[in-house]
Each structure stands twice: as structure tokens, then as C-alpha cells.
């Protein structure tokens, strides 16, 4: 293992920040979901890196990463279904056009 832990943490922090920019700045709802995927992957990378460097005999890190993966898959399925339903009603996937709940 020639790579120290802080390098993994740096990559994960950069990935999280890029994903956060995508979530905050994109107009298309599908692109926003892609940003969320990037953030979840940064979290997973952190979990596995800490598991490998600090507690490699305990399965918590990998198990948590697996559960994050499951939740991310569920989130993408439901999110894309919502986007398709909104597109069918509004003919738009721009997040700014989805203001049906606005008072």
C-alpha cells in the first residue's frame, strides 16, 4: 500500500464538492440526480478508505458502503420515476419549472 490515507480523503472531498456544485447549479433534474450520485460515491470512497486503513478486521466499513449502494440504487429508481412523471405533466425537467407546491 504505497498511498497514504489523506490522498483518498482528498479525492473524496474533491468528488463531493464537484457533486455538490452539480446539485446546486444544474437546471436539469436528471443532472441534479447525477450530482447526488457523485456525492454518494464520495461518501462510499471515504467509508471504504477508513475501513481499509483503520479497521480492516471489522466488516462495518464495507457493510455500510454496501448499504449506501443499496439506498443509492433505490433513490435513483424513485427519483427518475418522479422526474418522468413530472415531465409527463409539465413537459419540462427543469427544476425551476416544478413549482406546483408553491403557495
Shortest Cβ distance from residue 82 to another protein (Å)?
A: 6
Radius of gyration of the chain (CA): 17
Measure the N-to-C terminal CA separation of the chain; round to a whole number of Å. 56
**Contact between 43 and another protein (CB under 8 A)?**
no
**Contact between 97 and another protein (CB under 8 A)?**
no
- Closest to another protein by CB, 19 vs 103, is 19
**Contact between 36 and another protein (CB under 8 A)?**
no
Q: Find the helix or strand (DSSP H, E) in which 81 lies.
A: helix 60-90
Shortest Cβ distance from residue 101 to another protein (Å)?
A: 16
**8 A C-beta contact, residue 80 and residue 14:** no
**Contact between 76 and another protein (CB under 8 A)?**
yes
Shortest Cβ distance from residue 51 to another protein (Å)?
A: 8
Cα–Cα–Cα angle for 5, 11, 14, nearest 5°?
Answer: 140
Amino acid at each position: 500500500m504505497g498511498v497514504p490515507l489523506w490522498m483518498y480523503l482528498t479525492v473524496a472531498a474533491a468528488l463531493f464538492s464537484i457533486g455538490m456544485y452539480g446539485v446546486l447549479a444544474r437546471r436539469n433534474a436528471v443532472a441534479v440526480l447525477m450530482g447526488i450520485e457523485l456525492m454518494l460515491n464520495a461518501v462510499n470512497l471515504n467509508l471504504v478508505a477508513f475501513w481499509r486503513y483503520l479497521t480492516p478486521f471489522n466488516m462495518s466499513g464495507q457493510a455500510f458502503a454496501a448499504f449506501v449502494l443499496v439506498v443509492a440504487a433505490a433513490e435513483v429508481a424513485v427519483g427518475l420515476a418522479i422526474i418522468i412523471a413530472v415531465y409527463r405533466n409539465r413537459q419540462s425537467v427543469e427544476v425551476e419549472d416544478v413549482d406546483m407546491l408553491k403557495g
